[in-house]
Structure 1
Amino acid sequence: MCSPVFASGFAINEQSVSGMGTGFAGRSSAAEDASTIYGNPAGMSRLKREQVTGGVTLLDAHTDINDARSSPNGGTNEGDMVPLIGIPMGYYVKPINEQWTLGVGAYAPFGLIADYEEGFGGRYFGSRNEVQVMTLQPTVSYAFNDKVSIGFGPTFNHITGSLESNLSMTQAAPDGDVKIKGSDTAFGYNIGILAQLTDRTRVGLTYHSKVDYTLEGHTKIDYALLGGQKKYDSSMEVTTPESVDLSLTHALNDQWTLYAGSTWTRWSRLKEIRAVNEGVPDALSGQFGEIREEQNWHDTWAHAIGASYQLNKQWVLRGGLSMDQAPTNNVNRSPRIPTGDRKILSLGTGWSPSDNLTIDLAYSYLKEEAVKVNNHNELGQSYSAEYENWANAFALGVTYRF
C-alpha cells in the first residue's frame, strides 16, 4: 500500500477539500472554489470574486498481510509500512473582467511511500520506496459568454524518487542494500472546458497531460561480498500519465445538487522501472548496470457519484461514493505498490459564517479488494502474500473571498 490510496497507481486525488466531500464526483464541473484550478481551469470563470483556497489532507493507511511465504525462510510481515501523511494544497484566483480570469495553484498530483520494517519477508523485492511530485500551475480562463468557458494552465513539476531493496547472493552472508535516488523538473499542462447546458445542468471536461521525467541521481550498493559500499551515477525515466475527466453537475432545486464523473488514466505508460547506472565494472554490469522491475500496468477508469444539500445559508452537507480500478496485474504486482480495486465512501460539510469565508471539512473511508503478490528472482529468492488495504482520510480547507 502507498500513500495515495485514494487514487489509482501513485496518483493523488486530494487537491480539493470541497471536492473530497462528494467523493470527487463533479470534479471538472462543480467549480465551487479556487481549487477548480486543478479540477477544471475553465471553472475559474464562474468565480466572480478574488479568492484564495488552502487546505491539507491527512491520510491514515493500514494493511493486513496474510498467508505470507518467503524464501529464504523467515522475515516479518507487519504491514505497518505507511506513515501518517499530510498533503497540502493552495490556490489563488483573480477575475480581471467579464471574460478573463487569472489564477495560480500549488498541489501534489502524484506521490507514494512504503517503508517496511527491517527484516520484512519481501525485502528483496522492495523494502522502501518514495515518490513526491509537487506542481505549480499558473492558469488563465476565458468566458466566451455566460454559458461556455475554457481554461489553460502550464504545469511546472518537480519529482523526487527513491527505491530501496535488500540484497543477498548467498544464504550465509548478511543482507546488503540497494538504494536508488533521483530528481527532475519537467513541464506539462492542464486544459478544460465548462458548459452550462441549462439553468440547472453544467458539464465539464478536463485533460491533464502526461509529464516525462529523467530522474538524475545515484545508486548505492552496500554489500560486504562486493567490498562494501559502491556508488554510481544513475538515471531513471518516469512518465506520469495523462488523464481525462468528464463530469456533470445538476441542481435539482435550491437545496439539492447532484454530481457525477468518470476519469480515464493512461497507466499503461508504466511498463517497467529501469535505472541505468554508469561506471559499473564489467564483472557486475550484468546485475547492476541496469536494474529493472517489470510493472506492465494497464489503463484505468474511476467513477463517482455524489450529492450536496444546502441546509441553510451557512451550512452545506455533502456525500459521495467512488469506485477506482487499480492498474497493477497479478503477475507483476510487488510489495512496492500492492494495490487492488477500491471503493471509497466520502462525507463532507461546508460552513460559511460570512459571505467572505468558507470552512470545508471532509472524511473518506477506503476499502480495497484483497490482492496477491507473488514474486521471485534468478537468485532463488521469492515472496508471496495476500494484501488487504484500508484507509481513512481527514481534510480541512479554507476559502477567503476579498
Structure 2
Amino acid sequence: MKKVMLKTTISLAVAMASTQIFASGFALNEQSISGMGTGFAGRSSSADDASTVFGNPAGMSRIKREQVTGGVAFIDAHTDISDASSSPNRGTNKGDMVPFMGVPMGYYVKPIDDQWAFGLGVYAPFGLVTDYENNFAGRYFGTKSEVKIVTVQPTVSYAFNDKVSIGFGPTINRIDGTLESNISLNPRAADGNVKIEGDDTAIGYNIGVMVQALESTRLGLTYHSKVKYKLDGSTKVDYAVLGPLAHQKFDASLDITTPESVDFSVTHQLDDQWTLYVGSTWTRWSRLKEISVENSGVPAPLNPVFGTVTEEQNWHDTWAHAIGASYQLNKQWVLRTGLSVDQAPTNNENRSPRIPTGDRTVFSLGAGWSPTEDLTIDVAYSYLKEESVNVNNRRTTTPVPQTYSSKYENSANGFGIGATYRF
C-alpha cells in the first residue's frame, strides 16, 4: 500500500517520461522547429533564429534584426504492450495511454547595439500526459499522469568581438501536476482511487558561450542549470473499503530537483549550400536517487500507509548525440535532416508503467521557406523508435499482493510548424 501511494506522488514530479517526448528521462526537446529538422544537432552553435534564446543565449549576438519566432510541435505516440501478466489476474493492456498532444514555444530577440542583445523565451522544458484505460492491468502502479512545466526566460547576450560572445538568462519555472492510481486492500471489493495535485514555482538559469573558431566553423556550449522544486498540494483518497475514512483529503509535499545539462555542438559550413551539425548533451539524471514524500494531516489509522514514504529510483547520467545537415536549395528554401541517439536514465529494477522508456533513436527531416526576407516558415518531422524494455513491478506489503510485468515497445511521430518574422 505504501508503494501505491508513493508511486503516484513520485510521478507528480518525476514520472514525466513517456513515449510522447523526444528526449531522455522527462526532458522535452521541442523548443525549436528549425532545430527539430536537424535532430537538434548544432543546437548550441547554429543560432538560426530567435529560438537560440534556449539553444544558446550567446547566439543572440548573431541575430542582426529584431525578430520573433514561434511554433508548435505535435506528437503522436504509439505503444505495443506484450507478454503482460498481472496479479490480481485481471485487466487490459491496450497500450494507447498517450494522447495526441502539442508543445508550443515562443521567442523574441532585439539587438540593442553591436555588442548587446535582449531576448525573451517561453517554452516547455519538461512535460507529460499519459492516461491508461480504466481497467488497465497495471493500474495499481499508475493510471493517469498530467504534468506541465512552463519556463519564462529573459535573456541578455554580449559580443566581445566578432568571434566570441556570451549569453545569460534566469529561468522562472512553473510546475503543475495531477496524478492518479488505483488501490486495493480487498480482492472482493471495488478498487479505490488516489489522486495527487501539486504545484510550485522555482528559479534556475541558462548560460552559454559561442565561438567563431574558423570562418566556416562555429562552436557552442550551453549550460542549463538544475532547478529545485518543493511541490505543495493535496492527496485525495476515495475508497469505500475504508468505511468512515473512505473519503480523505490531506496535504502533500515533495522536494524534487530537475537536473542540469550541458550541450556542446559544432556548426560547419562546407560551402554556400551545405552546412553540417554535430552535438552532444550530458544530463545529470543521477540526482534522482530516491524520493521522499511527506503527507500531513493524515488520520492516525491511515498514517502508517499515507505518512512519510520513500522509494529508490537510482537513475543514472545520460548522453545524447546528434548529427545533422542542411542544404540551401535556393534563396527561398533550405532542407534539413538529422539523426540522434539518446540514452534512457531508468533501470530495469525500478522501471514502472509510468516510465516505460528505453534508449531511443530519432530520425528527422525539415525545411525552411522564406517567401520574403522578413518571413521564414519552418516545418519538421521526426520518427522516434525505442528499444523494447521490460516492466516488472511487485508489491507484497498489502493484503492483496500486486504484480505487473510486461514488455513495452514505444515509437512516436513528431510534426512541427513554426515561423520567424523579422522587423
Q: TM-score range by the shorter chain?
A: over 0.9
The structure 2 residue matched to 1:5, chosen from 14, 21, 24, is: 21
Residue aligning to 1:75: 91
Higher alpha-carbon deviation: 274-283 or 101-110: 274-283
Equivalent-residue separation in structure 1 for 2:214 and 2:196 (angstroms): 53
Equivalent-residue separation in structure 1 for 2:288 and 2:180 (angstroms): 19
Q: How many residues align?
A: 402
- Does residue 229 (structure 1) correspond to residue 250 (structure 2)? The answer is no
- Structure 1 unpaired stretches of 5+: none
The structure 2 residue matched to 1:317, chosen from 335, 355, 363, is: 335
Residue aligning to 2:298: 280
Equivalent-residue separation in structure 2 for 1:255 and 1:285 (angstroms): 67
Q: Which AA in structure 1 matches 2:240?
A: A
- Does residue 263 (structure 1) correspond to residue 281 (structure 2)? The answer is yes
Give 1:56 deviation, angstroms.
0.3
Residue aligning to 1:164: 180
Equivalent-residue separation in structure 1 for 2:292 and 2:97 (angstroms): 23
Equivalent-residue separation in structure 2 for 1:237 and 1:274 (angstroms): 8
Q: Which AA in structure 1 matches 2:377?
A: I
Equivalent-residue separation in structure 2 for 1:236 and 1:112 (angstroms): 18
* Counterparts of residues 206-225 of structure 1 (less than 5 Å): 206-225=222-241
* Counterparts of residues 320-359 of structure 1 (less than 5 Å): 320-359=338-377
Equivalent-residue separation in structure 2 for 1:23 and 1:396 (angstroms): 15
Equivalent-residue separation in structure 1 for 2:128 and 2:181 (angstroms): 16
Equivalent-residue separation in structure 1 for 2:147 and 2:33 (angstroms): 22
Equivalent-residue separation in structure 2 for 1:88 and 1:6 (angstroms): 14
- Does residue 364 (structure 1) correspond to residue 385 (structure 2)? The answer is no
Equivalent-residue separation in structure 2 for 1:24 and 1:372 (angstroms): 28
- Does residue 381 (structure 1) correspond to residue 402 (structure 2)? The answer is yes
CA deviation string 1:328-358 (max 9, x = no partner): 1000000011000000000000000111000
Equivalent-residue separation in structure 1 for 2:200 and 2:20 (angstroms): 20
Is this contact kept in 2: 1:4–1:11, CA < 8 A?
no
Give 1:242 deviation, angstroms.
0.4
Equivalent-residue separation in structure 2 for 1:163 and 1:18 (angstroms): 33
Is this contact kept in 2: 1:3–1:112, CA < 8 A?
no
- Does residue 243 (structure 1) correspond to residue 264 (structure 2)? The answer is no
Q: Which AA in structure 2 matches 1:318?
A: R
Give 1:360 deviation, angstroms.
0.3
- Give the secondary-structure state (helix, strand or coil) at the position aligned to 1:13: coil
Equivalent-residue separation in structure 1 for 2:290 and 2:18 (angstroms): 18
Query: TM-score scaled by structure 2?
Result: 0.94
Residue aligning to 2:146: 130
The structure 2 residue matched to 1:55, chosen from 62, 71, 75, is: 71
Give 1:163 deviation, angstroms.
2.4
Give 1:269 deviation, angstroms.
1.3
- Give the secondary-structure state (helix, strand or coil) at the position aligned to 2:352: coil
CA deviation string 1:11-46 (max 9, x = no partner): 000000000000000000000000000000000000
- Give the secondary-structure state (helix, strand or coil) at the position aligned to 1:328: coil
Give 1:272 deviation, angstroms.
3.1
Is this contact kept in 1: 2:200–2:231, CA < 8 A?
yes
- Give the secondary-structure state (helix, strand or coil) at the position aligned to 1:38: helix
Equivalent-residue separation in structure 2 for 1:290 and 1:164 (angstroms): 18
- Structure 2 unpaired stretches of 5+: 1-16
Cα distance change of structure 1 residues 272 and 114 upon mapping to structure 2, 3 Å threshold? farther
Is this contact kept in 2: 1:3–1:59, CA < 8 A?
no
CA deviation string 1:113-159 (max 9, x = no partner): 21100010000011112221000000000000000000000000000
Q: Which AA in structure 1 matches 2:260?
A: E
Give 1:271 deviation, angstroms.
2.2
Equivalent-residue separation in structure 2 for 1:398 and 1:291 (angstroms): 47
Equivalent-residue separation in structure 1 for 2:51 and 2:326 (angstroms): 17
Is this contact kept in 1: 2:61–2:111, CA < 8 A?
yes
Equivalent-residue separation in structure 2 for 1:136 and 1:334 (angstroms): 31
The structure 1 residue matched to 2:111, chosen from 95, 101, 109, is: 95
Q: Which AA in structure 1 matches 2:407?
A: E
Residue aligning to 2:324: 306
Residue aligning to 1:140: 156
Is this contact kept in 2: 1:315–1:351, CA < 8 A?
yes
Equivalent-residue separation in structure 2 for 1:131 and 1:336 (angstroms): 12
Equivalent-residue separation in structure 2 for 1:290 and 1:57 (angstroms): 39
Give 1:229 deviation, angstroms.
1.2
Equivalent-residue separation in structure 2 for 1:17 and 1:360 (angstroms): 6
- Give the secondary-structure state (helix, strand or coil) at the position aligned to 1:197: strand
Is this contact kept in 2: 1:177–1:223, CA < 8 A?
yes
Is this contact kept in 2: 1:4–1:13, CA < 8 A?
no
Q: Which AA in structure 2 matches 1:315?
A: W
- Give the secondary-structure state (helix, strand or coil) at the position aligned to 1:353: coil
- Does residue 399 (structure 1) correspond to residue 415 (structure 2)? The answer is no
Is this contact kept in 2: 1:4–1:111, CA < 8 A?
no
Q: Which AA in structure 1 matches 2:220?
A: G
CA deviation string 1:287-331 (max 9, x = no partner): 111344432111100000000000000000000000000011000
Cα distance change of structure 1 residues 234 and 334 upon mapping to structure 2, 3 Å threshold? same
Higher alpha-carbon deviation: 26-35 or 371-380: 371-380
The structure 2 residue matched to 1:174, chosen from 183, 187, 190, is: 190
Cα distance change of structure 1 residues 363 and 243 upon mapping to structure 2, 3 Å threshold? same
Equivalent-residue separation in structure 2 for 1:401 and 1:292 (angstroms): 51
